[in-house]
Amino acid sequence: MSPAFQPFDPREDFTAKQRNLPHWRQSGATYFVTFRLADSLPVEARVRFEEMRRLNDAEAFAWVEEYLDAGSGACPFKNPKHARTVASALRHFDGKRYSLGAFVVMPNHVHALVQPARPTALTSIVHSWKSFTAHELQRQAGISGQVWQEESYDRIVRDETELRVFHDYISANPTGARLLPGSFIVGQGSARWFEHQP
């Protein structure tokens, strides 16, 4: 049985760090995570994104998502074998180090809902996913050099309404991107946060 959904609790301690993106951390919280391949944004898009980020543009994430959904880069996850490698990595420690909710493996990026089990840190979970899959892609697909963009996007889920929004977004992402069947994987981990709701 998966643990109960844990939203951000403003009464509890949390940390906030900033690299290129903000990263809030709170023990036990649930996160919406996005990580993308290193070649998923062309140079001109990266420059524009940096400008939007510096201006603290609230639309920056949506703008990047449109680019990602358009299928920039080599998009190795259109190959079902490579997409299954990523989905398998996401599920590998589900129920042990974390509870995995809905996820989608798109051609050049991944979205997931995940709740780290104490004391496991979100950064170590995402690092393990990216490290394992990078080695596998280099071995299976002959990809050389950097596979994943170094920094990932993450957000602590604020409440059940936001959890539903992220869950639905993940489920609908391939349709919104007009992907053909077989060029993506939508899945669900052990976290069944919606099963007992009316």
Residue 45 pLDDT class (50, 70, 90 cuts): low
- Residue 197 predicted with pLDDT over 80: no
Q: Where are the beta strands (DSSP E) in 72-197?
A: 98-105, 109-116, 153-156, 185-188
Q: Are 133 and 144 in contact (CB under 8 A)?
A: no
What SS3 state is found at 197? coil
Domains and CATH numbers, the chain: 16-38+74-188 (3.30.70.1290)
- Judged by average pLDDT, the poorest of 41-45, 52-56, 84-88, 133-137 is 52-56
Q: Dump pLDDT digits (tens) for 9-41.
A: 777 887 777 665 667 778 889 999 999 999 887
For residue 62, the model assigns a pLDDT of 67
Residue whose structure tokens are 């391949």: 37
- Residue 47 predicted with pLDDT over 60: no
Handedness of CA 83, 88, 91, 96 (dihedral sign): negative
Amino acid in the structure at residue 115: Q
What SS3 state is found at 22? strand
What is the pLDDT averaged over residues 169-198?
88
Q: 123: which residues sit within 8 A by CB, 6+ positions away?
A: none
d(CA 105, CA 113): 12
For residue 165, the model assigns a pLDDT of 95
For residue 198, the model assigns a pLDDT of 40
Q: Are 147 and 127 in contact (CB under 8 A)?
A: no
